[in-house]
A and B are shown apart, each in its own frame.
Chain A
Amino acid sequence: GENVEQHPSTLSVQEGDSAVIKCTYSDSASNYFPWYKQELGKRPQLIIDIRSNVGEKKDQRIAVTLNKTAKHFSLHITETQPEDSAVYFCAGGSDKIIFGKGTRLHILP
């Protein structure tokens, strides 16, 4: 069945450094890959998404890259700030959206 794998499960980076979270997917028919941020006790919120007709998308300090051949996509956060601390989920799928298990990102002062 469809599967989305996400790594790492936990990531700690120094404030100001970059963070990278990686995901792989199994369904080659997938063509939409959103990323969600979930702060403690709150709902997941979309932060960026990418469709299969592009290889990269950027929004200020956040960027996502997609490699359809290898079936993997990554989230890049540059110049990290304390408010970036949260759990991040990748997702993908063709007939329904499946989420990765999440990455808990800690920004260290």
Chain B
Amino acid sequence: GAGVSQSPSNKVTEKGKDVELRCDPISGHTALYWYRQSLGQGLEFLIYFQGNSAPDKSGLPSDRFSAERTGGSVSTLTIQRTQQEDSAVYLCASSLGTGVNQPQHFGDGTRLSIL
């Protein structure tokens, strides 16, 4: 497709389970971001991939969170041993270029609910 694609769109799981969220960026976009948005709140930065550089993981809230980007394209955000406070919408965005001076294009997000 032409836009950023995220899957699944909704995920409900039990506390303690692991979850994987997927992001397909726009073809050719070298930068990829993950954000977390709790209900009615702002965009909390999680992690940033830029080309082949080491990712900026400074926003990951705990060691239960990890992300990878294979082949410079698809990215997976993994949350281990989920907790109720992990419930939120997880947004992925991609942008063109090697710097931060390009507009970000967002996916529709994955709404994660931890029971």
Binding site for B on A (CB under 8 A): 1, 31-32, 34, 36, 42-46, 49, 51, 89, 93-102
Binding site for A on B (CB under 8 A): 33, 35, 41-43, 45, 48, 56, 58, 91, 100-109
Question: Contacts A32-B100, A32-B101 known; A98 to B45 CB distance under 8 Å?
Answer: yes
Question: Contacts A43-B108, A45-B106 known; A99 to B101 CB distance under 8 Å?
Answer: no
What 10 A-B pairs come out closest when comparing CB atoms? Answer: A101-B42, A32-B101, A43-B106, A99-B43, A46-B103, A102-B42, A96-B48, A44-B106, A97-B100, A43-B108
How many A-B pairs have beta carbons closer than 8 Å: the answer is 49
User: B43–A44 contact, CB under 8 A?
Assistant: yes
Residue of B nearest to A103 (CB): B42
| Secondary structure class of chain B's binding surface, majority of residues | loop
Contacts of A44 in B (CB 8 A): 43, 91, 106
Q: How far is the CB of B25 from chain A (nearest CB, A)?
A: 14
Contacts of A98 in B (CB 8 A): 45
Contacts of B109 in A (CB 8 A): 43
